[in-house]
Every structure is written in structure tokens, then in C-alpha cells.
Amino acid sequence: MAVTVEMPKLSDTMEEGVLSAWLVEEGDEVSAGDVVAQVETDKATMDLEVYDDGVLLKKVIGEGDAVPIGQLIAVIGDKGEDISDLLSGAAGDGTAAEEDEEAAEAPSTEQQPSVSGDGAARQPQHARAPAGGNGQRIKASPLARRMASDHGIELTTVDGSGPQGRIIKRDIEARIEAAPEAAPQPAVAEQPAFEAPAGDAYTSEDISQMRKTIARRLAQSKYTAPHFYLTVDVDMAQAIRARKQLNELAEEQERARISFNDLITKACAVALKQHPQVNSSYLADEGEIRYYNQVHVGIAVAIDAGLITPVIRNADRKGLAQIAEETRALAERARNRDLQPEEFEGSTFTTTNLGMFGIEEFTGIINPPNACILAIGAIRDEAVVEDGEVVPGKRMKLTLSCDHRIVDGATGAEFLNDVQAYLEEPMNLLL
Amino acid sequence: MPELQFREAIRAAMVEEMERDEDIFLMGEEVAEYNGAYKVSQGMLDQFGSERVIDTPISELGFAGLGIGAAMNGLRPIIEFMTWNFSFVAFDQVVNNAPNIRYMSGGQFKIPIVFRGPNGAAGQLAATHNNSVESLYSNFPGLKVVCPSNPDDAKGLLKTSIRDDDPVLFLESELMYGMKGEVSDADDYTLPIGTARIAREGDDVTIVAHSKSYWRAMEAAEELAKEGYDAEVIDPRTIKPLDIETIVQSVQKTNRCVVVDESNPFASFASEIAFQIQDQAFDWLDAPLVRVTAPDTPAPYAGNLMDEYMPSAKEVIQAAKRVMYVD
């Protein structure tokens, strides 16, 4: 009995996955637990395991194909088994690897009914077919759907001239006919004013899963969470001293060195415990504000393909050494795109640091469903006034972006003041 | 080829077959002495005698059953119903015994019988004499239902029906008995049951129609041609077994289909075509199928209402334009 393998949901935010590589061939024996392919999700490249024993009868999608969660990607069964039923179920959605054979023998006569007499009388009423985006279904005749699929035409871009805006054969034919004219030939100037550089005007690439997710989530955040920003300038002199001492110990004990970022993670975690409103989520759909009893700090890590935020769980209860070690390991895995979903999901607060690039200050976009994000600037040498004298000082700007639906100005300021206080007197972190 | 009336073509088929095979006989009301209520069997009593051309009392249940018994005993009866409206009093014989005995006897008895007679509306005859039975009888497994639209098909198909070893219901039309047409005089001219005829080729819309409705479809096709639309008209000729393949191929070319059928619409032959096309040609359809049928009411008596009741060429044109998305 053949069984299907579908695109699994590999992360909370995943909506589709790209099959980046097949690791077995059609006809190979597979056993439950075998990794048969790698799937690129919005966050990471993950292994696709199968849950059944048998022969991989069919790869329904090819390497590089993107398919939504739940869609058929392979069939496992007994050698020689007839799986046409299972495959025909997948054929209709246009992503199946093989074209329906019958589709090739399209009707030979594709022209519209010809008309004599007053052609104007036949001009169809153009009603815009409801676009797919707003949840309304697109009305199209079965033939129009098939023709659109054969010609790679998005139905959402076609005006339907049939009843209730139904897209019909002639609408697709009109589109096919219009297509070559859509890209007008550039007019040739007789005497070019300058020599244009050789080569194409631009290069393009497909938008990666990760890019799509970043775009979707950050746009969602900016559109729905009213942001406001609070900035403090933190005196880092004590923190620098404390770190120096801690790292001397770390060297002796052969432990991971502690970074300023680790100190800030710890300071935030302890302060979050004291400010539950900052460690919360505004969940409009559920009609509730959720205060988290645990503190999970996400740390934005830049990687080649984009950005990911591994999470230090229960950071308020972890020592600096452990935070340093975990952060280093997670960042390394993130760069290798090896993170497992549980390692980058479930943050209750996030920090983002551009200090290493010399950025003095900036504002972060809140990582939903967090209430706040802390943007960390560079530590700078600054002339400061101490006891009436100008002396050299070390300063660092922190900017807190707050979701005003949950966090008001005073609430955010009190939290940020506490973070500042912990960093200016790091011994308090030990208490 | 000689030109024959529809009734003459049917008679020619019966006469040729009865000359060929002594086991064949004709039985029904007024078929012998009166030469047939519609003169279909004119002269047959004189030619074959009263043992093979037999008048019956007005007792459809009785003589239909008698025919089935004769068939079980090796004869090949042709049972004429004066009209198919009267077959309803013989319903049990037609739908229960005729199609089931071969199956229930494990093949010990064949039932090589033809029930024939005029079907459907024939002017102002009122509700009880206006029934079209093709949808009804084709619902029963084991019955073949043949419904020709012209004399040539009638002759070729009736000869094949008489030679068939299973029951065949052969549906004629009172209004078409006088219709003339060229009929093949080839020796032993037969046409296979279950083969549709593409009567007119076209690329713009498929119109499926049988019997009288076929002529409405052809009139509509001529009118549509004047407006520049090229209709393909298919006469299924046999309701069951149905040559759906020919229809599907046509719909794959035209992407749209109208079915014309003077039966009432609910659970009808037209519905069946619609089902089979969406089943087999879904991805070729550019519009939902449209049926042109009698309405779901008893047939009226008044002449003006009867004109409204019957499928017309005008309705077929409207339906064709609807599936072509014009007007």
C-alpha cells in the first residue's frame, strides 16, 4: 500500500518549503527514519525524514521547487505498485513534476467563435475577477485554468469577461496574444548620447524563503504594532572593567570569553523579570495580552541569506558563562543554517546589535509577537564631565522600540533605566 | 438510393428480417388487419400470414409478457406499442422481466425481443399521450434504447436491433413517420448500436440531440452559421449504450456543449450527458453545459402552450450563445 510524503510544517512561521536536495533516488529502498531530502524553510535547511518503509516510487517535485505545507512531494510503496491515483490527486495544482500527457494534445482549434456583422456588439463587459489575495476565489472555467497553467499565466492577473467575472478561454487567449507586445522594443536612438555599459541593466534572483519571511513578519510588525523609541546613553566604564576581570577568569578556566552582548543579554533578562509588561505579547486575534512567566531572549544574528534570531531560554536564570557559551554555539549553527525550530522560536524579547559596525545608534523593528526590541550601538570614546572636569569616558547608546499597544512611555523608560543601571553597575547582576 | 418515408424504412427492416428468419414475428394492437395504426406494417399480414403478424387485444401487459415468453422459447418477437405511452401498463414486463431474466437464469434464457413504437410528443394529445420514455427506460440495466432521427438510421438500426439477442427498445416518432429520406438499399444494410453520428462539423459549440430534437438542433445550427458560429451537431442515435467518446472528442474541440432532449429534465438523458462530460472532459470545458428540454411539468393540451413546452430551435440558439458567452 503506497503512502504519500507531504511537505511537513517545520517551523511555526513556515508556510511553504523549498526542496533543496533529494538524497535518495527513485527506486531506492527507504526505512522509517531515513532522511530522504533536505528542505529549506523560512528559517533553516532541515532534514526530511520518512515514517514508512518501502521503495521511493516517485519524486513528485524537483529540486528547487517550492510547495506549500501539506502538498504531496513523494510516494513510497511497494516496487511496481500502481500509484497513478495518488499522483492524479496532485496533478491539478500545476506543481507536479510531470505534465499531464493529455494536456499536450490540446484542442487543435483554439480560435474563438468567429463573428460576422457588428463585432462591437460582442465586446464583453469587463468585470475584474476577484483577486486571490483577499480570500475570494477566482472564478475561471476549467479550460481557462488549464490554459493559464500551460502558459504560466497567473489567473489573478487576468480580467474575466464571463458571468460574474469568470475567466474564460477568450480572456486567456487575449492574454497570450498580448504577451509579446507587453515588452515594447526600445526605440533605437540614432546617435546615442553616451555609450551604455555593456551587459544587462540588472540581475535578478528568486526571493528566498527566509527573505519572504523577514519581509512578511517585519511588515506585519510595522503595520500592526505602533512603534515608539526610547534612547539612553549608558556609561560602560564599569562594564568594561567587569568584563576584563571575567575574561581573565575565563581564560584560566578555558571557558568561552564573555562579550558585551552577553552582558547586555543578562542585564535585559534580569530587568525583564522585573518588568512583566515588557516581557509580554499583544495578541489581537486571541483578544488577550499574554505575560510570560519565563524570559527568553532572542538575539538577532546576521547570516548570508538574511537574519535569524536564536533564543537564549530562561536567560534570567543563566549565568554569564552559560549565556556566552550558548550564544556562541547558536550563532555558529545559525550561520551554518543548522538551527532547529525550537532554537529560534519562542522568544519573549529580542536584542539587535550593530555596534561591531560602528553604528552609534539605530532603531529596531519589533520581532512579533514580542513587545519590545533593544537596538545596541557601538561603545564609543567620549569626553564626559565628571566632578566638573572633562575626562575620557566610554559610552554606548541603547534604543528600545516599544509596541505602544502594551508598553507605554513610562513603562518602557523604567525598564530601560534598569537595564542601564545593571550595565553601569554590573555587580548588581550577581545579586 | 431510394427515398423512403420513415415508416417505410421501418417496414423494410422488419420485412427483410422476417424474410431472412422465420422465428421473427410482429405482434401488437392493429398491426395486422388494420395495417398498423400508423401504417407501418402495411401489407405485412398479406405477406407473412396471421401466424407471424398478430393482432392483440388492448392488453399491453399481456402481449408484452407473451412476447418475452416467446423469446425465452427461442422465437424473436417484435412487439409494437401503439405508442410508448401505453408501455406503462406493461411496465413490469418491460423493465423487470425483459432485462433481468437472462441475468437471473445464469444465461440459460436469452431474450431477443424488440419493443417498438412511436415515442414523445405528437401535437395536441394532452399530458398522458406525450411521454418521452428514453430517460426512463435507459435507467434500467439490461435494456438497450435506440432512438433514430431519420429513415436510413431507422432501417439500419432496426435490423441490428432485431438480430440482437437482448431486449432492445426502439423509439420512433409519430410526427416523423411521414418524413422522407434516402435509405440505403445495400444488401443486408445494418448499423451498429452504440455509435453516434456527427451530422454537422463545427468548431464553436457541440450540440447533442436525438430524434425530433435533432432536427431542432440542425435548424439552430443553420441559423447560427448565418451569424458566423459553427456548431457541431451530434446525433447519438442510441441512448444506451451511449457513444460518449464521440461527444467528448467534440467537446474537447469546441469546449462547450448544449444538449437538446424533449424528455422532462429531472434525472434525464440530458443530465446524464452533462454528468459524463464533466467527468471526462472537465478540463476542456469553458462554460457549464446547458440543456434544452421540456419543462418539469405535465404536457399541456392547448396548441400555443404546447409550442412553448417543446424545445425549439430558438431556445437551442439561445443556449448555444450562452455557452459561447455571446449576447
CATH architecture of A3-98: Beta Barrel (2.40)
Domains of chain B, each with CATH number or no CATH:
3-182 (3.40.50.970), 197-323 (3.40.50.920)
| A138 in reach of chain B (CB within 8 A) | no
Residue in the block written with cell 405528437: B122
Report pLDDT for A192: 53
Measured in angstroms, the CA of A108 and the nearest CA of chain B are apart by 7
> Which long-range CB contacts under 8 A does B37-42 form with residues at least 24 apart?
B37/B82, B38/B7, B38/B118, B38/B174, B38/B177, B39/B7, B39/B177, B40/B7, B40/B10, B40/B11, B40/B80, B40/B172, B40/B177, B41/B11, B41/B14, B41/B80, B42/B11
- Does position A186 have pLDDT exceeding 80, yes or no? no
Give the integer Cα–Cα distance in Å for A18 and A2. 24
Report pLDDT for A262: 94
Contact at 8 Å (CB) between B324 and B205?
A: yes
A372 is written with which cell numbers? 519590545
| B223 in reach of chain A (CB within 8 A) | no
| B287 in reach of chain A (CB within 8 A) | yes
Which of the pair, A99 or A280, is modelled with greater confidence? A280
Give the integer Cα–Cα distance in Å for A113 and A98. 32
Report the complex ipTM: 0.76
| B51 in reach of chain A (CB within 8 A) | no
CB–CB contact A113 B282 (8 Å): no
Q: What is the pTM of this model?
A: 0.53
CB–CB contact A113 B285 (8 Å): no
- Does position A119 have pLDDT exceeding 90, yes or no? no
- Does position A108 have pLDDT exceeding 60, yes or no? no
* Closest partner CB to A142 (pick from B205, B228, B283): B283
Contact at 8 Å (CB) between B3 and B180?
A: yes
Interface test with B, best of A116, A145, A169, A173 (most B CBs within 10 A): A169
| A107 in reach of chain B (CB within 8 A) | yes
Contacts of B229 in chain A (CB under 8 A): 113-115
Residue of A nearest to B252 (CA): A107
CB–CB contact A145 B326 (8 Å): no
Contacts of A145 in chain B (CB under 8 A): 283
Measured in angstroms, the CA of A59 and the nearest CA of chain B are apart by 25
Report pLDDT for A204: 84
Contact at 8 Å (CB) between A173 and A112?
A: yes
Buried b (16+ CB within 10 A) or exposed e, A388-425: eeeeebbbbbbbbbbbeebbeeebbeebbebbbebbee
Q: pLDDT band at A191, cuts 50/70/90?
A: low
- Asked which of A9-13, A132-136, A365-369, B212-216 is least confident by mean pLDDT, the reply is A132-136
Measured in angstroms, the CA of B297 and the nearest CA of chain A are apart by 29
Q: Indicate the angle between helix axes A320-335 and A237-253, nearest 10 degrees.
A: 80
Task: Quick: pLDDT tens for A401-421.
Answer: 999 999 999 999 999 999 999
Measured in angstroms, the CA of A125 and the nearest CA of chain B are apart by 10
| B93 in reach of chain A (CB within 8 A) | no
Give the integer Cα–Cα distance in Å for B15 and B27. 14
Interface test with A, best of B223, B325, B326, B327 (most A CBs within 10 A): B325
Residue of B nearest to A109 (CA): B253
Average pLDDT rounded to a whole number, residues A326-337 = 89
The alpha carbon dihedral of A245, A231, A352, A378 has a sign of negative
CB–CB contact B287 A168 (8 Å): yes
Report pLDDT for A354: 93
CB–CB contact B228 A144 (8 Å): no
Residue of A nearest to B248 (CA): A107
Contacts of A107 in chain B (CB under 8 A): 252-253, 255, 284
Contacts of B249 in chain A (CB under 8 A): none
Average pLDDT rounded to a whole number, residues A314-334 = 92
CB–CB contact B282 A142 (8 Å): yes
Fold agreement between A3-98 and A127-178 = no
Average pLDDT rounded to a whole number, residues A353-364 = 92
- Does position A323 have pLDDT exceeding 70, yes or no? yes
| B252 in reach of chain A (CB within 8 A) | yes
Report pLDDT for A128: 43
A213 by Cβ neighbours in 10 Å (0-12 / 13-18 / 19+) ranks as buried
Residue positions of B annotated with a catalytic role: 60, 129
- Asked which of A218-222, A426-430, B32-36, B271-275 is least confident by mean pLDDT, the reply is A426-430
Q: Helices then strands (H, E): number in chain B?
A: 12, 14
Question: Across the A/B interface, how many CB contacts are shorter than 8 Å?
Answer: 60
CB–CB contact A107 B286 (8 Å): no
Averaged pLDDT score across all residues of chain A: 83
User: Which residues lie closer than 8 Å to A57 by C-beta, 6 or more apart?
Assistant: A2, A26, A27, A75, A76, A77, A79, A81, A83
Instruction: Tell me the domain boundaries of chain A.
Output: 3-98, 127-178, 226-430
Report pLDDT for A338: 84
Name which of B228, B206, B196 is nearest B274 in CA terms: B206
Give the integer Cα–Cα distance in Å for B92 and B110. 18
CB–CB contact A161 B229 (8 Å): no
Average pLDDT rounded to a whole number, residues A55-83 = 87
User: Is 4.10.320.10 the CATH classification of the domain at A127-178?
Assistant: yes
Report pLDDT for A89: 59
* pLDDT digits (tens), chain B, 327 positions: 899 999 999 999 999 999 999 999 999 999 999 999 999 999 999 999 999 999 999 999 999 999 999 999 999 999 999 999 999 999 999 999 999 999 999 999 999 999 999 999 998 999 999 999 999 999 999 999 999 999 999 999 999 999 999 999 999 999 999 999 999 989 899 999 999 999 999 999 999 999 999 999 999 999 999 999 999 999 999 999 999 999 999 999 999 999 999 999 999 999 999 999 999 999 999 999 999 999 999 999 999 999 999 999 999 999 999 999 997
| A293 in reach of chain B (CB within 8 A) | no
Which of the pair, A93 or B323, is modelled with greater confidence? B323
DSSP A409-431: HHHHHHHHHHHHHHHHSGGGGG-
Tell the CATH topology of A226-430: Chloramphenicol Acetyltransferase (3.30.559)
Contacts of A118 in chain B (CB under 8 A): none
